């Protein structure tokens, strides 16, 4: 029998949620939305770069092992917590452990983490909108090779355009969230995810037809175990764990929207497979073009806004407009599918906790995100606030480090400890088996090995590695 505890949210909030978020209407819609949340900017540039830097095919095999074993364990835990409780992050823990209200602070920690991540995400996503516009209107095609670094610095440190792009991107997210789960998130995800796949496949086809493209594939897939260092293993593990949007409470909220008869293991497998496939295809689209045009494949973060525009320019004016426009549209779509899930997690988390309506919560949170995003954007090198350097870092770098290396692994570690050691095992099995309807011969290994020991130790390693 499925056990539920009464919600602590106010009647006003519960009525508002009932009118706006009935949950996903189908398993396909749920998978598209959750996969969209997992697929973000990091899939497009960071995953291929990490694979190329740390052994190509050797790194890829290790990544697949990590993401399908440890990453999926974390993903499943958050989906189970969400669907079992029927709530977003904060109230989910209080509902599952009503006699220990202190557990709700794990959810609150996740929502705060989500807020900080989304603030800096808005800034970077706004940059993708600017570069998409500059690609299609031909601005980037007229910039000479070798000056893209100066062009990006000039744009990022200016007062006007980063702000305009941030506001536009934030407004798009707010409109989608105000439309609700089915009419907003689900419909947009069903539209954007196929578009994202079509764009990345189109870019792959064009990239692979360039002379010398085979060198890029060799860089990405050739197994070179001599490059697979301890630092590389840590980077691959970190990418695998946090590529799936775990450790932020987002998947807890999405889990509460999943259809009750949905097979959670199968859904988690599809989400993980979609996330990994897009990451690999992004590498196939990027690195053959980089090598074909003689650019540096070790561009890291600067690969997107500095190296790749030069690659597109080498294809001629038309090639720069079409190829560059498609790539930055791909980035913008990937950013949007992730950011709407982050805003939804924030809206539901704070809304349930405070008892405020969906519209009011999303509006207030969006204003707060924009204000924090403005501070972060203007703290970039050369910006208005760049001289303020706590700990010797700009606020931009400080928030990037905090939201990327420290908070998500801490939140994920607390979540998996709660899931494996404090949530009743029978409740977990009941949810994963759909009340005995699904076969779960794998449950013993999943619960006693992966959940209780392997995943927590992996998160601890990533957390310690990020600190030191």
pLDDT tens digits along 232-280: 898 898 888 878 889 888 999 999 999 888 999 999 999 999 999 999 9
The span from the first CA to the last CA of the chain, in angstroms, equals: 46
Q: Averaged over 401-422, what is the pLDDT? A: 90
Per-residue pLDDT, 347? 95
Contact present, 49 and 300 (Cβ < 8 Å) = yes
Of 119, 109, 120, 91, the closest CA to residue 407 belongs to 109
pLDDT reported for residue 217: 92
Q: What is the pLDDT of residue 166?
A: 96
Q: What angle do CA 24, 25, 26 make, to 5 degrees?
A: 95
Give mean pLDDT, residues 113-132.
Answer: 94
Q: Are 282 and 200 in contact (CB under 8 A)?
A: yes
The pLDDT tens digits of the residues spanning 326-382 come to: 999 999 999 999 999 999 999 999 999 888 888 999 999 999 999 999 999 999 877
Domain boundary assignment for the chain: 11-467
Residue pair 80/419 in contact (Cβ under 8 Å)? The answer is yes
Rounded Cα distance between 241 and 262, Å, is 24
**Cα R_g (the chain), whole angstroms:** 22
The dihedral through the CA atoms of 7, 182, 411, 429 has a sign that is: positive
Give the CATH fold of the 11-467 domain. Hydantoin permease (1.10.4160)
Contact residues for 371 (Cβ-Cβ < 8 A; gap 6+):
none
Task: Return the residue matching tokens 């989500």.
Answer: 114
pLDDT of residue 4: 42
- The number of C-alpha atoms within 13 Å of 129 and in the hemisphere containing its C-beta is 20
Residue 342 in contact with residue 335, Cβ under 8 Å? no
Q: 87: helix, coil or strand?
A: coil
Q: How far apart are alpha carbons 174 and 122 in whole angstroms? A: 12
Average pLDDT score, the chain? 88
Kindly report which listed range (10-24, 59-73, 251-265) carries the lowest average pLDDT score: 10-24
CB atoms within 10 A of CB 362: 25
Q: How many CB atoms lie within 10 A of CB 260?
A: 11
pLDDT above 70 covers a percentage of the chain that reads 94
pLDDT tens-place string over residues 293-329: 777 766 655 678 887 888 888 888 888 899 999 999 9
Q: CA-to-CA distance for 245 and 176, rounded, in angstroms?
A: 19
Residue 430 pLDDT more than 80? yes
Name, in order, each residue with C-beta under 8 angstroms of 416's C-beta and a sequence gap of 6 or more: 73, 74, 77, 451, 455, 456, 459
Confidence of residue 286 (pLDDT cuts 50, 70, 90): confident
d(CA 56, CA 19) in angstroms, rounded, equals 49
Q: Give the other-Cβ count within 10 Å of 22's Cβ.
A: 13
Distance CA 129, CA 206 (A): 22
CA-CA distances (angstroms) from residue 213 to 89, 227, 396?
45, 22, 35
Q: Which residue has the tokens 């764990």?
A: 241
Q: Which tokens is 386 given? A: 């760049």
Q: pTM value? A: 0.91
Gap between the Cα atoms of 186 and 31, Å rounded: 9
């Amino acid at each position: 029998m499925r056990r539920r505890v009464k919600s602590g949210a106010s009647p006003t909030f519960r009525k508002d949620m009932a009118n706006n978020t009935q949950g996903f209407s189908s398993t396909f819609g749920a998978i598209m939305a959750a996969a969209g949340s997992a697929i973000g900017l990091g899939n497009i540039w960071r995953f291929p770069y990490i694979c190329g830097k740390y052994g190509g095919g050797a790194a890829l095999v290790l990544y697949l092992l990590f993401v399908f074993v440890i990453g999926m364990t974390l993903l499943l835990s958050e989906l189970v917590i969400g669907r079992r409780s029927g709530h977003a992050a904060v109230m989910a823990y209080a509902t599952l452990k009503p006699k220990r209200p202190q557990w709700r602070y794990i959810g609150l920690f996740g929502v705060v983490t989500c807020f900080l991540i989304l603030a800096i995400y808005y800034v970077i996503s706004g940059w993708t909108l600017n570069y998409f516009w500059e690609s299609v209107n031909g601005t980037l095609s007229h910039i000479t090779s070798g000056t893209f670094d100066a062009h990006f610095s000039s744009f990022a440190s200016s007062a006007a355009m980063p702000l305009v792009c941030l506001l536009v991107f934030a407004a798009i997210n707010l409109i989608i969230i105000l439309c609700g789960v089915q009419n907003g998130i689900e419909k947009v995800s069903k539209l954007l995810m196929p578009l994202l796949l079509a764009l990345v496949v189109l870019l792959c086809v064009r990239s692979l037809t360039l002379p010398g493209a085979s060198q890029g594939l060799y860089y990405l897939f050739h197994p070179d175990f001599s490059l697979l260092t301890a630092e590389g293993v840590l980077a691959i593990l970190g990418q695998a764990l946090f590529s799936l949007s775990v450790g932020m409470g987002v998947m807890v909220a999405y889990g509460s929207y999943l259809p009750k008869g949905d097979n959670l293991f199968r859904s988690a497998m599809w989400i993980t497979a979609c996330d990994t496939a897009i990451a690999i295809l992004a590498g196939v689209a990027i690195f053959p073009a980089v090598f074909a045009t003689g650019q540096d494949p070790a561009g890291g973060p600067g690969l997107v806004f500095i190296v790749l525009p030069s690659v597109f320019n080498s294809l001629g004016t038309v090639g720069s407009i079409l190829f560059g426009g498609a790539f930055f549209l791909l980035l913008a779509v990937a950013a949007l599918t992730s950011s709407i899930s982050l805003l939804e997690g924030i809206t539901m988390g704070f809304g349930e906790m405070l008892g405020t309506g969906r519209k009011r919560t999303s509006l207030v949170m969006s204003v707060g995100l924009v204000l924090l995003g403005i501070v972060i954007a203007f703290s970039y090198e050369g910006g208005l606030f760049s001289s303020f350097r706590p700990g010797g870092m700009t606020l931009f770098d400080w928030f990037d480090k905090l939201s990327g290396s420290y908070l998500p692994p801490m939140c994920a570690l607390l979540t998996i400890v709660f899931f494996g050691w404090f949530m009743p095992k029978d409740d977990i099995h009941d949810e994963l088996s759909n009340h005995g309807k699904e076969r779960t011969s794998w449950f013993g290994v999943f619960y006693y090995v992966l959940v209780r020991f392997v995943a927590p130790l992996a998160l601890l390693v990533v957390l310690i590695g990020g600190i030191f």
